[in-house]
Amino acid sequence: MSERGRKYQSDILAILRRGSAPQSAYDVLGELRQSHPKLAPPTIYRALASLMERGLVHRLESLNAFVACQCGEHQHSSILSICEDCGKVEESVVPDLLSVLTNCVSASGFRPRRHVIELHGVCASCGDVRVPA
Amino acid sequence: MSERGRKYQSDILAILRRGSAPQSAYDVLGELRQSHPKLAPPTIYRALASLMERGLVHRLESLNAFVACQCGEHQHSSILSICEDCGKVEESVVPDLLSVLTNCVSASGFRPRRHVIELHGVCASCGDVRVPA
DNA sequence: TGCGTTTTGTTATAATATAACACTTCCAGC
DNA sequence: GCTGGAAGTGTTATATTATAACAAAACGCA
């Protein structure tokens, strides 16, 4: 595993942890530029790539955004649930999830190596305050 | 459901069906420009949005690309399996998948409305020709 | 026909991501 | 200490993906 981007990894992780909702690479860049005005996009993307390799950050493919991993254990199978109201993301660890999905597609002989599972919906606190239909 | 973009929907669907791998909106635009040189991006995105609403096209969030739906039945729960070798996408329909995932996250009270499930791996035909590790 | 609504066309630009290469840093081996 | 290669960083430029904004045309219907 390479170590590219390590210089700003802790700063970026702190920024992602501070925000309750996912942030885009350019959101992070904007924040970091307050202290390091000359930072350019590749620096951010390199650091995010390393953080993702290490399992400390997840990329939300359906939002083009990033969140800090919320569990102590990294390198796990997880579901990312995105609230369409408040934007917050919850991470659910499901140890055998990948094997369940593998079974679903095993008929075709496909062998998964990485998975993307993102749910869009309404989180508990936003659902509570909603007027019933 | 709006009807925006209907003018080019059948052409776009034909282009997506012709290609075995997912195509970006700009790939589609490039092909359509051969016959309609003045087409602009919003036209493509409008048509793709309508096709997706109708379940005829799926968006691959992790590739920023689009494929034609491969099943007769639309508006279903499916898994999109993307081969990292040949680029082809297989669609697996799993009727109760959404309820399984809902159970996985139900502890938190999250209520899903839409899901994104994409597997990256190696398809059967590419796996066959691989040298074992 | 005239009017509102919807769709389409067009221009411009926003937002996301990476290629390419110069420069620096680090460290192993001499 | 020097030196040379590998790894990391900085910088510029540009590629790729997507949408805002508004003008023009088509459509439906009183």
Give pLDDT tens digits for B13-67: 999 999 889 999 999 999 999 999 999 999 999 999 999 999 999 999 999 999 9
The minimal CB distance from A121 to the residues B110, B118, B120 is found for: B110
Rounded average pLDDT over A90-111: 88
* A73, pLDDT greater than 70: no
* A133, pLDDT greater than 80: no
* B94, pLDDT greater than 60: yes
Please name the residues between 24 and 83 in chain A that touch chain B, using a CB distance below 8 Å: 61-62, 79, 81, 83
Q: Report how far Cα A99 is from the mean position of its chain's Cα atoms.
A: 21
Supply the pLDDT for residue A62. 97
Q: Which nucleotide has its C1' atom closest to residue B41's CA?
A: D18
Q: Which nucleotide has its C1' atom closest to residue A41's CA?
A: C17
Supply the pLDDT for residue A75. 66
CB neighbour list of residue A93: distance below 8 Å, 6 or more residues apart: A71, A73, A76, A77, A78
Rounded average pLDDT over A44-66: 96
Whether A104 contacts chain B with CB within 8 A: yes
CB neighbour list of residue B75: distance below 8 Å, 6 or more residues apart: B55
Torsion angle of the four alpha carbons A120, A125, A131, B1, in this order, in degrees rounded to the nearest 10: -10
Percent pLDDT > 70 in chain A is: 92
* The token pair that represents A127 in the structure block: 């659902």
* A104, pLDDT greater than 80: yes
Percent pLDDT > 90 in chain B is: 68
Supply the pLDDT for residue B133. 42
- The whole-number Å distance from A12's CA to D6's C1' is 26
Rounded average pLDDT over B69-97: 86
